[in-house]
Structure 1
Amino acid sequence: MTNTRKFLFIGLFLLTGVTSPLMAAQPGQVMTGVASYYHDSLHGNKTASGKIYNKNKLSAAHKTLPLGTRVRVTEPKSGRSVVLEVNDRGPFVKGRIIDLSRRAATELGMLKKGLAKVKVEIVSVPGRSGA
């Protein structure tokens, strides 16, 4: 794509008022929904960020948040929460908003259930205030 075409595409995109969720993420934003956690068979695989998934570390996958975004995930029933980094893409199951590492799921007390309703608050976004 030539520079002129890129410029026209971006200009058209901005004129339509459409914004990318990646551009809109700001510290303090909150979303709620269902969390799941990565299956143990994914331990050792490369994530979208290039990091290796380690089920014993705090990490997560989100469909649209910029990689490197730090979020606080809270399980409202228990009040437990963890702060972790988004380093992968997913979940790719309808109705789920975040995939957690095994350690994060354990700390939230959702390991046996497999799924939990959670609140996800953006703590920091790379390159933005609070990062």
Structure 2
Amino acid sequence: MSGRRELPGPDLSGTEMNDVLRSRIDFRTPPADPVPTPAHTPTAPAHTQVEASKGGVRSGKGTRPDPDGMRRASFYITREAAEALERAADRIVQVLGDGTPRHVALSALLLAGAGQVDVVAQELARQRAAELTARLAALPPIPE
């Protein structure tokens, strides 16, 4: 036995459940924006942390809290990009050894990519210009 005592359930006698639910939601006004809280500054960058923080755990938007200095994220990216990122992370873990946490490899890869903003922006602009040039060339001539 775990030693935990069972807590009694709430006393709902005389309570109309619909009234309780209605009192929690005000359909007339939108919810106010939450007050921003100051960001936590970890002592070491999160992408270099090998072990999760032993103490402070903050609650995130998900069902599990994020350790200090960490954030779970979901990105909508092409399958090609996702597979390339997976292969690169696998290669880093292979080179550095199984003691390297996957989040360290993924964080380092994302930071390296973020450091290439100008190169990436130029390439995307070049691709967009080529696409627009091809679309322009495909337009029928304007009759005079």
Q: Which has the higher strand share?
A: 1
State the TM bucket, normalised to the shorter chain. under 0.3
The answer to which structure has the higher helix fraction is 2
Report the TM-score, using the length of structure 1 for normalisation. 0.25
Bigger Rg, structure 1 or 2: 2
